[in-house]
């Protein structure tokens, strides 16, 4: 059986006890740091996915706007022609009404 015979033996026991608790604390600290890093990685991954989705949405909207812009030119030309036809018809009706 081992008995503490002097203060040096007591010092070694206290140092061993402190080393044990320091090891437990360091293991606990490393575990929580690993969990924090894991959460940071997951958040970064989710943000990348969201940014990619937003980028795809913007590209889709841009393409739709570009396609609709090309149709707007055709529609405006059609409206101009219809306006000209209506103008000609109303103008010809006024001329025939004045002749009577």
What's the pTM? 0.53
Q: For position 64, what pLDDT does the model report?
A: 84
The beta strand positions in 1-100, using DSSP E, are: none
Task: Report the distance separating Cα 20 and Cα 14, nearest Å.
Answer: 10
Q: What is the CA radius of gyration of the chain?
A: 42
Q: Containing H/E element for 46? A: helix 7-99
Closest CA to 13 of 25, 21, 27: 21
Query: Mind listing the pLDDT tens digit for each residue in 15-33?
Result: 999 999 999 999 999 999 9
- Dihedral, CA atoms, 10, 16, 21, 24, nearest 10 degrees? -170
Whether residue 10 is predicted with pLDDT greater than 70 in this model: the reply is yes
Q: What single-letter DSSP state applies at residue 2?
A: -
Query: Mind listing the pLDDT tens digit for each residue in 47-86?
Result: 999 999 999 999 998 888 877 777 777 788 888 888 888 8
């Amino acid at each position: 059986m081992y008995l503490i015979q002097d203060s040096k033996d007591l010092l070694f026991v206290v140092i061993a006890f402190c080393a044990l608790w320091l090891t437990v604390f360091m293991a606990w600290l490393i575990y929580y740091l690993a969990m924090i890093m894991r959460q940071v990685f997951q958040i970064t991954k989710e943000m990348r996915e969201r940014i990619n989705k937003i980028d795809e949405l913007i590209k889709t909207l841009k393409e739709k706007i570009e396609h609709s812009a090309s149709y707007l030119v055709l529609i405006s030309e059609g409206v101009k022609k219809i306006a000209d036809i209506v103008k000609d018809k109303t103008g010809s009706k006024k001329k025939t009404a004045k002749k009577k």
